[in-house]
Amino acid sequence: MTMTTLYVLAILGIWLVAASLFVGVGLLVARATGFRDGPLPLLFWLGWATTIVLLQLLHFFRPIDNIVQTAFIGIGAAGLVIGRRQWTSIGFFSNWSRSAVPIAVTMVIANPASEAW
């Protein structure tokens, strides 16, 4: 395995963790608003937007440091645990043929990010 492949896989791993945490925040927001049956992209963007808004508001009072980052990681992880039934019922990884195209596109996008081109 070449270093470029390892870089691409590392970037994919980081993006997968970040996307999962955004979905976790989205699950918490959806649960708080009573909207329980959202599709995965909606939960991702809901979590992303909520995280951005909260970080912007928090930045008025304190810098965004490791404590805040750790807190948001915990919030996202808690959202995934609390909403695990909804998260697993979406079934994104249960059908690998449906997941192969987005994963391949993401690898193509991650390749230039690893300075391989």
Block mean pLDDT (10 aa), the chain, length 117: 74 84 91 80 91 94 91 90 74 60 73 60
| Helix intervals (H) in 34-65 | 40-59
- Tokens matching residue 115: 């300075």
The kind and range of the H/E element at 16 are helix 3-33
The pLDDT score that the predictor gives to residue 99 is 67
Position 79: which residue type? G
Which pLDDT does position 107 carry in this prediction?
A: 73
CA–CA gap between residue 78 and residue 113 (Å, rounded): 30
pLDDT at 1: 65
What pLDDT is recorded for position 50? 95
Dihedral angle sign, alpha carbons of residues 61, 34, 87, 39: negative
Angstrom distance (rounded) from CA 71 to CA 12: 23
Contact status, residue 27 vs residue 82, Cβ threshold 8 Å: yes
Q: What integer pLDDT is reported at residue 117 of this predicted model?
A: 46
